[in-house]
Amino acid sequence: MKPLLELESVSYAYHSLSGETPALNNISFDVKEGEFIAIVGPSGCGKSTLLSLIAGLISPELGDIKINGTNVSNARASIGYMLQRDHLFEWRSIYKNVILGLEIQKKLTQEYLDSVNEMLINYGLEAFKDKRPSELSGGMRQRAALIRTLALKPSILLLDEPFSALDYQTRLTVSDDIGCIIKKEKKTAILVTHDLSEAISLGDKVIVLSKRPATIKSIFPIEFALENKTPLACRNAPEFKDYFNAIWKELNDYE
C-alpha cells in the first residue's frame, strides 16, 4: 500500500541576522492511512517546525513532503492542524467557532454542517452550542477545537502538544477522550509531544528525535495485547513500562 504521507530527507533552518539555526536535518518517514504517529524529542528540537512543514505553512529548504504523491503546498486543505491552545474566539459562540474553518473555505454546505452537528451531539457539546468559550471547561474547549479541525474532513490530523495547556488530571481524561474520537473517526494523525506516556498510549508508532538540529534517532512500533485499546487502558498494560523505559533511554542517550 502506498503511504498517505511521505517525508523525503527534509531539512529546515531558521535565519536571522545573527546567524542560521538549523532545526531539522534530513528527516524521512512515511505515514500510512489510519496510522497514529507520535513524535517525541527534547524541548526546542524542532517538533513544531516539523508540523508546520507538513501543514504546508512553511516550505522545506531541502527535501520533499508529499501527500498521496502530490506536494503539500498544493494539498493544504486536506490537513487539519490542532495547536497547543484551543484558541477558541471569545467573540464567537461555540458553534460559530466550530464552523470557522468551513466559513473560511466557503464550505457551509448542508453536508458539512450535518457532520458538524453530528459531532457536536456525539461528543457532548450540543447543549453548549450557543455558549461562549469561557463558559466551558478546558476539556470541553479542547473537544470543540478538535471538532473545528475535523469539520473540514482532513485526511491527516496534526496535533501539536494539544494537551500541554491542561492540568494533569484533565490532561489524562482529555487525551483519552481525544484519542478515542480520532480512532473512531478513523483519522490518520501525527502527534507531537514531550510527554512519553502520552506518546506511547496514543501512538501506533513513536518516532524519537534527537536534539536540535533534529534527526530521527529511532522509530518504535507500539503494540499492546489489548482488546479494547483505549489510551487509558494502554497506560495500565504491562508492556507500557517496557516501552517507556526503552524510549526514555533512547531520549537520554546523547553522545
Partner 1 sequence: MNDISIRQLEFIKQKTKYRRSVTRYRIAIFFAFIIIWQLTASFGIIDSFIFSSPIKIFACFYSMLKDGTILHHIFITLTETFLSFFLVIVIGILISVILWSNEKLSKILEPYLVVLNSLPKSALAPLLIVWLGANMRTIIVAGISVAIFGTIINLYTGFKEVNLDKIKLIYTLGGNKTNVLLKVVLPSSIPIIISTMKVNIGLSLVGVVIGEFLAARKGLGYLIIYGSQVFKLDWVIMSIVILCIIAMLLYKAINLLEKMYLKHI
Binding residues (CB under 8 A) for partner 1: these are 55, 57, 76-77, 79-81, 83-85, 87, 89-91, 100-101, 103-105, 132, 148, 152
Return d(Cα 96, Cα 208) in angstroms, integer: 38
Nearest to partner 1 of 31, 79 (CB atom): 79
CB of 35 to partner 1, least distance (A): 21
* Phi then psi dihedrals of residue 150, to 5 deg: -70, -20
Q: Sheet containing 79-82: which strands, arranged edge to edge?
A: 79-82, 156-160, 188-193, 36-40, 205-209, 216-221
Shortest Å distance, C-beta 74 to partner 1: 12
Minimum gap (Å) between residue 56 Cβ and partner 1: 9
- Name the grid cell of 138: 478546558
Contact 10, 30 (CB under 8 A): no
Q: Tell me the three state secondary structure of residue 129.
A: coil
Closest CB to partner 1 among residues 100, 246: 100
Query: Least distance in Å: CB of 250 to partner 1?
Result: 30
CB of 110 to partner 1, least distance (A): 20
Nearer to partner 1, 159 or 207 (CB): 159
Q: Which is nearer to partner 1, 91 or 254 (CB)?
A: 91
- Minimum gap (Å) between residue 83 Cβ and partner 1: 6
Q: Shortest distance, CB of residue 57 to partner 1, whole angstroms?
A: 6
86 versus 176: smaller Cβ distance to partner 1: 86
Distance of alpha carbon 117 from its chain centroid, rounded?
23
- Compute the C-alpha angle 21/27/28, nearest 5°: 165
Q: Which is nearer to partner 1, 100 or 232 (CB)?
A: 100
Locate the DSSP E strands across the chain. Answer: 5-16, 19-31, 36-40, 62-67, 70-71, 79-82, 156-160, 188-193, 205-209, 216-221
- Cα separation, 217 vs 208, whole angstroms: 6
Sign of CA dihedral 25, 190, 82, 116: positive
CB nearer partner 1, residue 45 or residue 79: 79
Please, what's the b/e burial string for 60-71 (b: 16 or more CB within 10 A of its CB; e: otherwise)? beebebbbeeee
